[in-house]
Structure 1
Amino acid sequence: MTLDNKIAIVTGAASGIGLAIAKRYAAAGARVAIADLKLDAAQAAADGINADHPGAALAVAMDVTDEDQVNAGVAKVVETWGTVDILISNAGIQIVNPVELFAFADWKKMLAIHLDGAFLTSKAVLPHMYAQRSGTILFMGSVHSKEASPLKSAYVTAKHGLLGLSRTIAKEGGPKGVRTNVICPGFVRTPLVEKQIPEQAKELGISEEDVVKKVMLGQTVDGEFTTVDDIAEVALFLAAFPSNALTGQSLTASHGWSMT
């Protein structure tokens, strides 16, 4: 599958899953905007991609919860490359706590980054996609888009919400040539997941080893983490899919952690 001459924006792309997707897209022929809260990190990521694929990457500063920054970032991409064909709404964080101890400020922060960010970036790119009557939006969901786990009320709520947003845009955008789907990874050993290991060990009163073996991997079929490259391949498949036959859907890649 190729993405020759396609223009993509990937949020939260300076590291982790977002960076892996950006690299895979560049290798498949796309030009990719590395949109991240940290411009210096985004520039370093773009420089790395450009070293292998000259001119394929552009660094964009973007706080996905700030409408002005989102609009400015999308405008920069369109000014530079002419349009937007693909949006990967990937920016996200994790905060764990039981509901009764979950700070309201943390709750609002989680929903803002995951849900407001998905909404604002979609709203910004859709006019360009509608004008050309083609485009793909991919939301980074989770196995927690379909199932729940203790200590993750805000994250689970946000990831469930992405399914609804995706399905709505699929209904609205289908007649205008725009598809949208949700990627639902299992546990991927990124810094976000690494941070959860000691936090969950403390909250659950178990060892960090048990968090990994029992909480994160205990429900998989092989005891393996999903990798960033696994998710990048899923993102390539969904972006390159040629028709509206696959829209409004969610695809789980979790080594069997979730089979819904």
Structure 2
Amino acid sequence: MLAGKTALVTGSTSGIGLAVAQALARAGAKVMLNGSRPAADAEALRVELSAEAGVEVGYTQANLAEPASARALVEATIAAFGSVDILINNAGIQHVAAVDAFPDHTWDLLMAINVSAVFHTTKAALPSMKAKGWGRIVNIASAHGVVASPFKAPYTASKHAVVGFSKAVALEVAEQGITCNALCPGYVRTPLIEKQVVDQAKVHNMPEDRVIREVILAAQPTRQFVEADEVAAFAVFLCSDAARAVTGSVQLIDGGWTAR
């Protein structure tokens, strides 16, 4: 489906990003991984994915809080594979606190990674896409790009910004064979969430299955986690020729959360 294409996936050594990278590789795309794993672990992951999918896979570290580093990540992908045809902006961080107790430096870091890095990687990748007359940008936002939750004001603001940015980029490149969409998952089963389940079970003194249904997934009507592989499959579709007319959209995969 994506043979001959090159994909850069930020934050792709675990969780959603890794699932997306794996799915793109299995669809035939060369993939540049990115993350902060130790070099040996990252190399093992790169080799494993390349062997499994039968495509070239690279790995580049980048401090996405730094604009120059975000741009360098794109440049490294172009140097390794010749182009960036697919850009998946997945890297992100979250911190939960009331607004009046939220650390200033954490706000700055969250905005740098969740929002500014999306701008810098997109800006750096667009010339390569324009030169080929084909490109796919998928920004992994969140259901919090559409609705809000208390004590997550900065994260909510950042994801709303990503949604708006995606729409504007889509309009700018609509006639150049490039699409840009925001993919907005609800609660996804990841190692980070699984740790939260354990912690919340202790806090609320209740079994983990009740924590999942009554605390973590209280806003998600299906009472089931979205699986990372489901998000990945959606992302691959958005990168395919079948999604040529899908651009500037907000694609929700949230178990009905935002239907309320």
Same fold (TM over 0.5): yes
Q: Is 1:245 aligned to residue 233 of structure 2?
A: no
Measured in 2, the distance between the counterparts of 1:196 and 1:162 equals 25
The letter for the 2-side match of 1:85 is D
Residue by residue over 1:194-238, the C-alpha shift from the partner in whole angstroms, topping out at 9 and shown as x without a partner, is 454577789xx7457565322432233331100000100110111
Superposed counterparts of 1:145-184, under 5 Å: 145-184=145-184
The letter for the 2-side match of 1:20 is A
Measured in 2, the distance between the counterparts of 1:227 and 1:63 equals 27
- Whether the 8 Å CA contact 1:42–1:60 is kept in 2: the answer is no
Residue by residue over 1:127-168, the C-alpha shift from the partner in whole angstroms, topping out at 9 and shown as x without a partner, is 111111110110011111111111111111100100111011
Q: Which residue of 1 aligns with 2:130?
A: 130
Q: Which residue of 1 aligns with 2:186?
A: 186
Q: Which residue of 2 aligns with 1:78?
A: 78
Deviation larger for 36-45 or 21-30: 36-45
- Aligned to 2:154, the other structure's residue is in SS state helix
* Seq. identity, %: 37
In structure 2, the CA distance between the partners of 1:223 and 1:238, relative to structure 1 (3 Å rule), is same
Measured in 1, the distance between the counterparts of 2:135 and 2:33 equals 18
- Whether the 8 Å CA contact 2:28–2:55 is kept in 1: the answer is no
- Whether the 8 Å CA contact 1:110–1:155 is kept in 2: the answer is yes
Measured in 2, the distance between the counterparts of 1:183 and 1:142 equals 7
Deviation larger for 51-60 or 18-27: 51-60
Q: Is 1:144 aligned to residue 144 of structure 2?
A: yes
Q: Which residue of 2 aligns with 1:31?
A: 30
The letter for the 1-side match of 2:10 is T
Measured in 1, the distance between the counterparts of 2:109 and 2:258 equals 26
Measured in 2, the distance between the counterparts of 1:55 and 1:244 equals 24
- Whether the 8 Å CA contact 2:20–2:232 is kept in 1: the answer is yes
Structure 1 residues without counterparts, runs of 5 or longer? none
Residue by residue over 1:55-82, the C-alpha shift from the partner in whole angstroms, topping out at 9 and shown as x without a partner, is 4311111222222222222222112211
In structure 2, the CA distance between the partners of 1:47 and 1:66, relative to structure 1 (3 Å rule), is same
The letter for the 2-side match of 1:44 is A
- Whether the 8 Å CA contact 1:93–1:192 is kept in 2: the answer is no
Measured in 1, the distance between the counterparts of 2:192 and 2:93 equals 7
Structure 2 residues without counterparts, runs of 5 or longer? none
Measured in 2, the distance between the counterparts of 1:67 and 1:220 equals 35
The letter for the 1-side match of 2:13 is A
Residue by residue over 1:168-217, the C-alpha shift from the partner in whole angstroms, topping out at 9 and shown as x without a partner, is 10011112221100111110121333454577789xx7457565322432
Q: Which residue of 2 aligns with 1:233?
A: 233
- Aligned to 1:252, the other structure's residue is in SS state strand
- Whether the 8 Å CA contact 2:25–2:55 is kept in 1: the answer is no
How many residues are matched?
A: 257
Residue by residue over 1:1-60, the C-alpha shift from the partner in whole angstroms, topping out at 9 and shown as x without a partner, is x21111000000011111101111111111100022336243332122012124431111
Deviation larger for 35-44 or 101-110: 35-44
TM, length-normalised to structure 1: 0.91
Measured in 1, the distance between the counterparts of 2:123 and 2:148 equals 28
- Aligned to 2:70, the other structure's residue is in SS state helix
Measured in 2, the distance between the counterparts of 1:117 and 1:71 equals 9
The letter for the 1-side match of 2:26 is A
The letter for the 1-side match of 2:135 is G
In structure 2, the CA distance between the partners of 1:48 and 1:172, relative to structure 1 (3 Å rule), is same
TM-aligned CA deviation for residue 244 of structure 1: 4.5
In structure 2, the CA distance between the partners of 1:26 and 1:70, relative to structure 1 (3 Å rule), is same
Q: CA RMSD in A?
A: 2.1
Q: Is 1:64 aligned to residue 64 of structure 2?
A: yes
